[in-house]
Amino acid sequence: MDITLINLIKQYNDTDKPVLNDISIKIPEGGTYSIVGPSGSGKSTLLNLIGTLDFPNSGEVKLGSIVTANASSKELEEIRNRKIGFVFQTHMLLPQLTVLENILLPVLPRGKVHQEGALERAKALLNEVGLSNKIDSFPGKMSIGECQRVAVVRSLINEPDLLLADEPTGSLDRESATKLTDLLLKLQSQYNFTLITVTHSLELANQMGVTYNLVDGKITQN
């Protein structure tokens, strides 16, 4: 699923200048990308537009051949559930559910065949992130770094084509941040999804294949 942004303009209110001001890029599938830029430069805004969580004032976001602004809400739900994984700065695991139950939540809307493979996929992914022994643990009893690794597993349980990570290491200490970055890259090369990471960590950004700079509503490639 290639991502194509065409003349994107995003402005939250008429009086402010546009957060994104005529952005056009093509992001071929299967690579690793970072988006860097100062706080407030519109990184999350851009990620939300790609993730169909929000829409531009003008211009197009195309996921494969689908123009997100023209898709029905049912189509968008399916795209978000099946094609895109999301990881945020905080893990957003539900405290009353175990690790396994949290991971399986995105599988609930899916058909039976897909659900049947989900337990095996969950176990395999937990093994990849080194947390097989935490499968029945509750998030409150785990470190933030471990919870963030579970959030990564949850984001991949439906085998997305695209993983969007908004400041995924922003709440982590240096050691956990390095570990999470290594994991994201390992999983990307194994499963071959497109990885787009928003970050203000240059260390993280530099490990991605392509780095985009977002400044004053414009994007440039490093």
Ligand X SMILES: Nc1ncnc2c1ncn2[C@@H]1O[C@H](COP(=O)(O)OP(=O)(O)O)[C@@H](O)[C@H]1O
Least distance in angstroms from the C-beta of 163 to ligand X: 17
- b (16+ CB within 10 A) / e for 175-196: ebbebbbebbbebbeebebbbb
Least distance in angstroms from the C-beta of 213 to ligand X: 11
**Phi and psi, residue 171, nearest 5°:** -105, 5
Residue placing its CB nearer to ligand X in the complex, 47 or 104: 47
For Mg ion, the nearest residue by Cβ is: 44
Within 35-74, the residues that bind Mg ion by CB under 5 A are 43-44
Q: Choose among Mg ion, ligand X, none what residue 39 binds, the Cβ cut-off being 5 to 8 Å by kind.
A: ligand X
* DSSP state at residue 117: H
Q: Choose among Mg ion, ligand X, none what residue 40 binds, the Cβ cut-off being 5 to 8 Å by kind.
A: ligand X
Residue placing its CB nearer to ligand X in the complex, 158 or 169: 169
Least distance in angstroms from the C-beta of 54 to ligand X: 8
CA–CA gap between residue 11 and residue 141 (Å, rounded):
41
Verify binding: residue 194, Mg ion, rule CB under 5 A: no
Q: Choose among Mg ion, ligand X, none what residue 172 binds, the Cβ cut-off being 5 to 8 Å by kind.
A: none
DSSP strands (E only) in the chain:
3-10, 20-27, 32-36, 58-63, 66-67, 84-87, 162-166, 194-198, 210-215, 218-221
CA–CA gap between residue 54 and residue 52 (Å, rounded):
5
Q: Choose among Mg ion, ligand X, none what residue 19 binds, the Cβ cut-off being 5 to 8 Å by kind.
A: ligand X
Lookup result for tokens 């409150």: 140
**Phi and psi, residue 11, nearest 5°:** -135, 125
Contact indicator for 19, 31 with CB cutoff of 8 Å: no
Verify binding: residue 42, ligand X, rule CB under 6 A: yes
The single residue among 32, 34, 44, 155 that binds ligand X, judged by CB under 6 A, is: 44
The single residue among 37, 85, 139, 160 that binds ligand X, judged by CB under 6 A, is: 37
**Contacting positions for Mg ion (CB under 5 A):** 43-44
